[in-house]
Amino acid sequence: MDFEKQMNDKVVEIENVIQAYMPKEYTFQKTIIDAMDYTMSAGGKRIRPMLMKACYDLFGGTANVVEPFMAAIEMIHTYSLIHDDLPALDNDDYRRGRKTAHIVYGEDMAILAGDALLNYAFETATKAFDLIMSQNLLDIDTETIANDTSTLYVYVNELKQRKSVERALQVLSSKPGIYGMIGGQVVDVELTGSTLTEEQLVYIYENKTGALIESSMMIGAILAGVDESTIEKIQKVAYNIGMAFQIQDDILDETSTFEELGKALHSDEKNGKVTYVTIHGIKESRNEIEKLSREAIEILESMDGDSEFLQHLIEYLIDRKN
What are the residues binding ligand GRG (CB under 6 A)?
44-45, 47, 80-81, 83-84, 89, 96, 181-182, 185, 208-209, 246, 249
- What is the rounded distance in angstroms from the CA atom of residue 32 to the CA atom of residue 112? 7
Identify which of residues 14 and 226 has a Cβ nearer to ligand GRG in the complex: 14
DSSP state string for 112-154: HHHHHHHHHHHHHHTTHHHHH--S-GGGS-HHHHHH-HHHHHH
Our CB check for ligand GRG shows the closer of 226 and 274 to be 274
Q: Residue 243: enclosing H or E segment and its boundaries?
A: helix 228-255
Which helix H or strand E contains 293, and what residues bound it?
helix 276-301
The whole-angstrom separation of Cα 153 and Cα 76 is 36
Pick the closer one to ligand GRG by CB: 89 or 282. Answer: 89
Distance CA(282)–CA(285), nearest Å, equals 5
CB of 216 to ligand GRG, least distance (A): 11
**Closest CB to ligand GRG belongs to which residue?**
44
Q: Which is nearer to ligand GRG, 209 or 311 (CB)?
A: 209
Nearer CB in complex with ligand GRG: 65/118: 118
Shortest Å distance, C-beta 78 to ligand GRG: 7
**Least distance from C-beta 80 to ligand GRG, angstroms?**
4
Torsion of CA 177, 179, 184, 185, to 10 degrees: 30
Cα→Cα distances 90→80, 86, 263, 307, Å: 12, 6, 12, 37
Shortest distance, position 47 Cβ to ligand GRG, whole Å? 5
Closest contact distance (angstroms) between CB of 263 and ligand GRG is 8
**Minimal distance in Å, beta carbon 306 to ligand GRG?**
25
Beta-ladder partners of 94: 99
Q: Which is nearer to ligand GRG, 151 or 256 (CB)?
A: 256
